[in-house]
Amino acid sequence: MAFSKLSRKLELPQTHRNGTGPSMSPNLTELPTTILETFIPGYSLISGFILDVFGFDVSILVSAAVIIFATVHVGTYIWQRVYSWFRQYLMSNIYIDDGDDLFDSILSWIGEQQMAKKSRSIKAVTRYSQISNEDEADENAALDEHGIFHYGKYAARQPPRYEPYFGVHRFWHKGSLYIFDRSRREVQSNPWTGRGSDEELIKLSCIGRSTNPLRLLLSDIKARSLQKQESLTNIRRPAPKDMSRRSGAWDRVSSRPSRPMETVSLDKEQKARIVADINEYLHPASPRWYASRGIPWRRGYLFHGPPGTGKSSLSFALAGLFGLDIYVISLLEPTLTEGDLNRLFSNLPRRCIVLLEDIDTAGLLRDEKSDKDEDTSRTASDDDAQLTAKDLAKALKTASRKGGKTDDAKQGISLSGLLNAIDGVASHEGRVLVMTTNHPEKLDEALIRPGRVDLQVQFSLATHEQMRDIFVRMYSIEFDGTDASMRSLREHHDQGQRMQLKDHRTSSNSDIDDGLTDEPGATTAHTGEKTSSDRLVNGVLKVRPSNVASPLSAIAKINGVIKPNIAVSKSPTSPITPFLARTETEQLSPAQLRVMGDAFAAKLPEDTFSPAEVQGFLLIRKKEPRRALEEVDDWRTGMMKAKEKKSKVVAVQ
């Protein structure tokens, strides 16, 4: 044995078996007593005692254990040194932090790989408030004996989502080995709030001194993620400042199925005009065209009209059509400073839609300084931007409400601050700015002068054609539950969950209604005849569809042809049973729906109700077109009375 030979050559002293003195060891499996003593104090006494009492020599066992222990430790140390050297000099890394969209895409992609499926250490994520796997749960299993839908039960059936846990995971992709390392680090706490927060980081590594394989992998992941998102519109809002991230960052707060343009009921020609205008602006050749003529490459739109006429809906539909993300800023956000606003505008991507909603209610005041500022300096204002006396008083009031923090005194957006953000030198080129308002007459003319607002689009109360369209779309079963965009949303639920789990200070302002949530489905494209009432006056686009004839007589043809299909609740004895009967949408052909839609529209006066009001009426009867047709007269009378009295509460719904 090699150890024995070595031992003899070295003439190591014999283990002290009986505690009387050193002697030569017959082989190396027995380490000298002095060495064992350093590992196990009092070893000679213990081993002597065991030998005397049990007649058993433990030196061989103890020596073997010590040798194994030492070998493992030395081996581990050498391996770590070699591996760290290898990683440092022979591997390439790419880091992705959790503020980047790629972070979610990678997690989602990795979660689908064999490595994550086989891994014995994965993270399970579940939130009942998320839509996530709703479709995988059996709808009927969540109904109780009275037919009441119990969301708790329903959500409990949804499987959790799994993703790789913190630590190192290895996987193969297209023949190459990659290392995925997910870690978390605590970031410095905010000096004002005293709160710290965690940030996550992904490190992707590959063997070799070039990052090319990693870049290719990330391109693959990004392409796949974009493909999934094709029919989704990302909505972003300013990232919370107290997350120790610099102000001016944007967070993706949700991804929603893109709203098809057909579902926004406006005159086709006018819609086409807006679409063509944005399309021309977004064209890759446009930046050069603008630059060569010295015109800033920016485009602004003002959507104005009464509430609920489709201003936000059109903005979202345009974002979906052009595959743009939508960046929503609320100027009413109390902690938003002019410096933040500038940084937010300068952090926009090359092409996107910025939505400034209800610009008139933002309480912007035209300060004396803004007149001078507007024409002279276009320098990027920062936190020290000048405030008017009124603004300052307002800001101080806010500050005193919040405990008098000095920083708050600088908050609040003045008109000059907003103008600087919109078209100051720091402002980004390439964005589409959409401002919406119910009161265009209240706006300062500086805000809507050409260059800042290039096209004004007026939205009016519902016309007959709009009401007919809304009716047809409401009862069209063509897209019930099979909308491709909904499918895509489900596929993408993982990312949605992650985004919504993020603590978002601005979520309190997420009152934005993109008209997607209550949308029953996409409508069939209708033949949009040219309307006589559309006009473009002084750059103001008047959106007003033409009237439609009302073939009331045609209803007789379809009356009684199709019977509604009622699904009866399981317990006929329950007192609430009659109210719980689930109605299936009547199966009406597109032609029948159109005729009914025309009849419905003919019962309502034009320019009186907003599309949102009409939609609200239909939603209460969302599967009963015949009932809607029967009850619309009463509703109209009730609504007209309420409008006459300027009452906000209506008797008939």
Which residues of this chain interact with ligand ATP, rule CB under 6 A?
Answer: 264-266, 307-313, 436, 438, 459, 466, 470, 513, 515, 518-519, 611-612, 615
DSSP codes joined into one string, 98-150:
TTSHHHHHHHHHHHHSHHHHH-SSEEEE--TTS-TTGGGS-TGGGB-TT--B-
The widest CA-to-CA distance across the chain, in whole angstroms, is 122
Contact partners, residue 392, CB within 8 Å, separation at least 6: 409
Cβ atoms of residues 405 and 328 within 8 Å: no
Q: 252 or 544, CB closer to ligand ATP?
A: 544
CB atoms near residue 372 (< 10 Å): 11
CB of 492 to ligand ATP, least distance (A): 22
The tokens describing 91, both together, are 């591997």
d(CA 323, CA 308): 24
Q: Look at the block and give the residue holding tokens 């009492």.
A: 53
CB of 466 to ligand ATP, least distance (A): 6
Q: 300 or 305, CB closer to ligand ATP?
A: 305
The tokens describing 348, both together, are 């926009």
The tokens describing 547, both together, are 């009237």
Q: 588 or 618, CB closer to ligand ATP?
A: 618
Starting at the edge strand that comes first in sequence, how are the strands of the sheet with 540-543 ordered?
250-257, 232-238, 326-329, 352-356, 431-437, 299-304, 455-459, 540-543, 535-537
CB of 312 to ligand ATP, least distance (A): 3
Q: 103 or 459, CB closer to ligand ATP?
A: 459
CB of 268 to ligand ATP, least distance (A): 12
Direct distance between the N- and C-terminal alpha carbons of the chain, in angstroms, rounded to an integer:
97
The tokens describing 9, both together, are 């050559």
Q: Look at the block and give the residue holding tokens 């960046």.
A: 327
CB of 334 to ligand ATP, least distance (A): 20
Cα dihedral sign, 83-89-92-94? positive
Q: 32 or 308, CB closer to ligand ATP?
A: 308
CB of 298 to ligand ATP, least distance (A): 23
CB of 511 to ligand ATP, least distance (A): 9
CB of 614 to ligand ATP, least distance (A): 8
CB of 510 to ligand ATP, least distance (A): 14
CB of 351 to ligand ATP, least distance (A): 22
CB of 462 to ligand ATP, least distance (A): 7
Pairing relationship of beta strands 122-125 and 161-164 according to DSSP bridges: antiparallel
CB of 355 to ligand ATP, least distance (A): 10
Q: 81 or 439, CB closer to ligand ATP?
A: 439
DSSP codes joined into one string, 565-577:
-EE--S-TT-TTH
Q: 29 or 361, CB closer to ligand ATP?
A: 361
Q: Where are the beta strands (DSSP E) in 261-332?
A: 299-304, 326-329
CB of 358 to ligand ATP, least distance (A): 6
Q: 107 or 266, CB closer to ligand ATP?
A: 266
d(CA 219, CA 105): 11
Q: 57 or 269, CB closer to ligand ATP?
A: 269
Helix (H, G, I), strand (E, B) or coil at 650: coil
CB of 314 to ligand ATP, least distance (A): 7
* Whole-number Cα distances in Å, 129 to 125, 155, 232, 290, 407: 12, 8, 20, 47, 36
Q: 265 or 342, CB closer to ligand ATP?
A: 265
Q: 122 or 486, CB closer to ligand ATP?
A: 486
Q: 380 or 541, CB closer to ligand ATP?
A: 541
Q: 300 or 611, CB closer to ligand ATP?
A: 611
d(CA 290, CA 367): 31
Q: 342 or 466, CB closer to ligand ATP?
A: 466
DSSP codes joined into one string, 399-435:
HHHTT--GGGGGBS--HHHHHHHHHSTTSPSSEEEEE
* Whole-number Cα distances in Å, 390 to 370, 382, 409, 607: 14, 19, 12, 39
CB of 612 to ligand ATP, least distance (A): 3
Q: 357 or 408, CB closer to ligand ATP?
A: 357
Pairing relationship of beta strands 197-207 and 91-97 according to DSSP bridges: antiparallel
Residue 458, H or E segment: strand 455-459
3-state SS of 291-347 is HHCCCCCCEEEEEECCCCCCHHHHHHHHHHHHCCCEEEECCCCCCCEHHHHHHHHHC
Beta-ladder partners of 356: 329, 435
d(CA 63, CA 29): 6
Please name which of 411, 410, 435 lies closest in space to residue 422, comparing C-alpha atoms: 435
CA quadruple 607, 612, 614, 615: dihedral, nearest 10: 150
Q: 196 or 605, CB closer to ligand ATP?
A: 605
CB of 619 to ligand ATP, least distance (A): 9
d(CA 69, CA 371): 80
Q: Look at the block and give the residue holding tokens 């997910």.
A: 182
